[in-house]
Amino acid sequence: MLNVQPDTSTLSAGVAAAILAAALLHASWNALIKGAGDKGLYTLLLHACSGAIGLIGLMFTGLPAADSWPYAGTSALLHTLYIAGLMRAYEGGQLAVSYVLMRGLPPLLIALVATTLLGETLGWAGVAGVLCISAGVLSMGALAGQSLRYVLAHPSAQAALWNVLAIVAYSLVDGQGARKSGNPLAYAFLLCVLEPLIILTIHWRQRSSQMKNYFRTHWRIGLLGALCSTTGYATVLWAMTQAPIAMVAALRECSVIFVVLIGSLWFGEGRLRHGLLAGTFVLTGLVLMRL
């Protein structure tokens, strides 16, 4: 058994570095979805590959502690909603805009719930750090010139906003589940297996021939996305056993800076200066959380 008792007041340099690496991985697999010709089929392929990775991983780690199974099941349902929303959020929307909406709001809500319901203590520096990071992430939307009218009117932006609720819910559930699992990696592998079952079953009944053909020809890029996704989230789950959930969730959202860089340099979406400016908020938040 691994020692997964969290330090509910500090964020070590090692944990912070691990979360930053996970943020880059998270940005990478989201960029792969955005760059895919058929975003829906690629998302399904990515999660099918994640399920295969989870099965193989469980052969080595075994199942997590039984106390964590209800959390894993609940999280799988929440992730199903998240996957469906993600597919819609990237259809016709710019990568950075949809991503900023989905990643900027959750840390604030997670911090509020974690402190009131889970009894986590952040301290003044932790609270200031979370606020600073969220401000930096959300500022990307304002700096990009996207108005409230766009957010309310554009279907992809609406889907991204709905996904905020799913992200908050599964982050809190998984934080508790990982802490009860005895082995965060085993918990992550179990999630990989459970998470895609519902959405893959639904889509298989509707478009099995398309999925077969797409999976056969694109499995390599699907495996790459799955490795990024699985490794990144397993790292985040481990971090949640070592530090407050709210701090981990907030620092993870520096992935938006990576997304802006990818969106600017790869997809030609611009906003490179905006991303660098917002990055100063994120770095300031990281410094505050390390005080």
Nearest to 41 by CA among 203, 225, 151: 203
Q: Can you give the pLDDT at residue 206?
A: 84
Which amino acid does the sequence have at 283? L
Q: Can you give the pLDDT at residue 146?
A: 53
pLDDT at residue 86 above 90? no
Q: What is the pTM of this model?
A: 0.80
Q: Hunting for tokens 């964590």 — which residue is that?
A: 68
The CB density around residue 185, as the number of other CB atoms within 10 Å, is 19
Nearest to 285 by CA among 242, 245, 248: 248
Q: Can you give the pLDDT at residue 57?
A: 96
Give the mean model confidence (pLDDT) for residues 88-112. 67
Query: How confident is residue 262, by pLDDT bands cut at 50, 70 and 90?
Result: confident
pLDDT at residue 276 above 80? no
Give the mean model confidence (pLDDT) for residues 19-40. 81
Query: Of 39-48, 147-156, 158-167, 227-236, which gets the smallest average pLDDT?
Result: 147-156
- In angstroms, what CA-CA distances link 118 with 78, 113, 155, 174, 202? 19, 7, 34, 13, 35
pLDDT at residue 63 above 50? yes
Give the mean model confidence (pLDDT) for residues 14-31. 87
pLDDT at residue 109 above 60? yes
Tell me the per-residue pLDDT of 127-173, one tens digit each, with 9 for 90 and over. 777 777 777 766 665 545 555 555 556 666 677 777 888 888 998 99
Say which residue, 182 or 274, is predicted with more confidence. Answer: 182
CA torsion, points 243, 235, 77, 225, in degrees to nearest 10? 150
Mean per-residue pLDDT over the chain, rounded: 79
Whether the Cβ atoms of residue 76 and residue 217 lie closer than 8 Å to each other: no
> Can you spell out the DSSP letters for 69-108?
HHHHHHHHHHHHHHHHHHHHHTSSS-HHHHHHHHHHSHHH
Q: Can you give the pLDDT at residue 245?
A: 84
Q: Can you give the pLDDT at residue 143?
A: 46
Q: Can you give the pLDDT at residue 77?
A: 93
The CB density around residue 270, as the number of other CB atoms within 10 Å, is 15
Q: Can you give the pLDDT at residue 108?
A: 73
Give the mean model confidence (pLDDT) for residues 224-251. 89
Whether the Cβ atoms of residue 253 and residue 225 lie closer than 8 Å to each other: no
Query: Of 10-19, 100-109, 161-170, which gets the smallest average pLDDT?
Result: 100-109
Query: How confident is residue 237, by pLDDT bands cut at 50, 70 and 90?
Result: very high
Q: Can you give the pLDDT at residue 90?
A: 62
Give the mean model confidence (pLDDT) for residues 210-235. 92
Nearest to 45 by CA among 227, 167, 189, 175: 227
pLDDT at residue 8 above 50? no
Sign, CA torsion 43/46/52/57: negative
Query: How confident is residue 42, by pLDDT bands cut at 50, 70 and 90?
Result: confident
- In angstroms, what CA-CA distances link 188 with 10, 23, 106? 23, 16, 20
Query: How confident is residue 83, by pLDDT bands cut at 50, 70 and 90?
Result: confident
**Which residue ranges make up each domain of the chain?**
13-289
C-alpha–C-alpha distance, residues 3 and 34, integer Å: 38
Say which residue, 139 or 68, is predicted with more confidence. Answer: 68
pLDDT at residue 288 above 90? no
